[in-house]
Structure 1
């Protein structure tokens, strides 16, 4: 908790899922609305990271995907319930999770993890015909026919 302009503030992370039927401009407007609510409640927006459209783990209101957005900000503790109430009644936000404190990312990006897995497997094993000269001759004879 830090003290800013006479009051205490907490750092928060907000992950929200925006309705998938919104076009790009409407999605940007929905994100700007949430950012505006944070700022209008004397909050300080630290970052906004749009993860993009992703498949949901389970259907929400018969929808299978949504646009994920991560926001980090500072806000007075008494203003957090106000923000959550606004998110709950918003038709543009399918789900949200507001967590006090910024959680450091630990781990690798999925692409890095996949690359590391390929490196650990090493080069592909040679084909059995390369290991057995008789088998290679038989395959060559069949190919020549």
Structure 2
């Protein structure tokens, strides 16, 4: 039998909700994963952060990360509950390979890309071809 895949759901809550409401949402979504046969790997509150762009009228949000393993049946009910909640302003679920580490990154190493040729500036190469050659006939 193969290993169950791992999932990470990152969601952003409205910045104006109280700390106990954040805890309530965190417990609700964690319990929803467990009820649907998932196993919680990690559940972290990342705190209030400034958003890269406004979502609705919000410039900040409370970030929460939920890592779990399951057969995929957990994703639908979890995202449906988040979509229906007025306190969740954005969410994203990704499936990842490898084991979860405490830093929130996969421990599967990724080899760096190797460049086969030095980079050339395409604009300069094209511009040089468009300039007529100078003559020494002056």
Distance in 2 (CA, whole Å) between partners of 1:76 and 1:60 is 31
Structure 2 counterpart of 1:44: 39
Distance change >3 Å, CA 56–CA 78, structure 1 → 2 = same
Q: Could you state the TM-score of these two structures normalised by the residue count of structure 2?
A: 0.66
Q: What's the counterpart of residue 96 of structure 1?
A: 91
Query: Taking structure 1 as the reference length, what is the TM-score of the superposition?
Result: 0.63
Name stretches of at least 5 consecutive residues in structure 1 with no aligned partner: 4-8, 106-145
Match of 2:25 in 1: 30
Trace 1:87-126 onto structure 2 (pairs within 5 A).
87-101=82-96, 103-104=105-106
User: 1:73 aligns to what?
Assistant: 68
Q: Tell me which residue corresponds to 1:136.
A: none
SS in 1 for 2:90: strand
Structure showing greater radius of gyration is 1
For 1:49 and 1:67, how far apart are their aligned partners in 2?
A: 11
Task: Tell me the SS of whatever aligns to 1:35.
Answer: helix
Shift of 1:55: 0.4
Q: Tell me, yes or no, if the aligned pair for 2:6 and 2:70 is still in contact at 8 Å.
A: yes
Q: Is the 8 A contact 2:36 2:73 kept in 1?
A: no
Unpaired runs of 5+ residues, structure 2, are 108-138
Q: Answer yes or no: is the 8 Å Cα contact 2:46–2:62 preserved in 1.
A: yes
Q: Name the counterpart of 1:86.
A: 81
Partner of 1:11: 6
Question: Which is richer in helix?
Answer: 1
Structure 1 pair 63–78 and aligned structure 2 pair: CA distance change class (3 A): same
Partners of 2:21 and 2:74 lie apart in 1 by: 26
